[in-house]
Amino acid sequence: MIEKTYIYKGDFPLEAGGTLKGLTIRYHVSCENHIGKKVIWICHALTANSDASDWWDTLVGEGKLF
């Protein structure tokens, strides 16, 4: 898995009416170029680790379900 970082530098509005001053999102991809390939988003709210293959090692990775 390749770790990536997205940085949003402005005020990020929240549905509840507040804002976050800047936002950093870390995520992992299985390959550098995913254009033309199917994408699966796995979001997990119970861990700060963005690498799904670390916490779902039996399901995520080459030759596995995801």
Q: What is the pLDDT of residues 5-64, one digit of tens each?
A: 999 999 999 999 999 999 998 888 877 777 888 778 787 777 677 788 888 888 888 888
C-alpha to C-alpha distance for 32 and 26, rounded to whole angstroms: 15
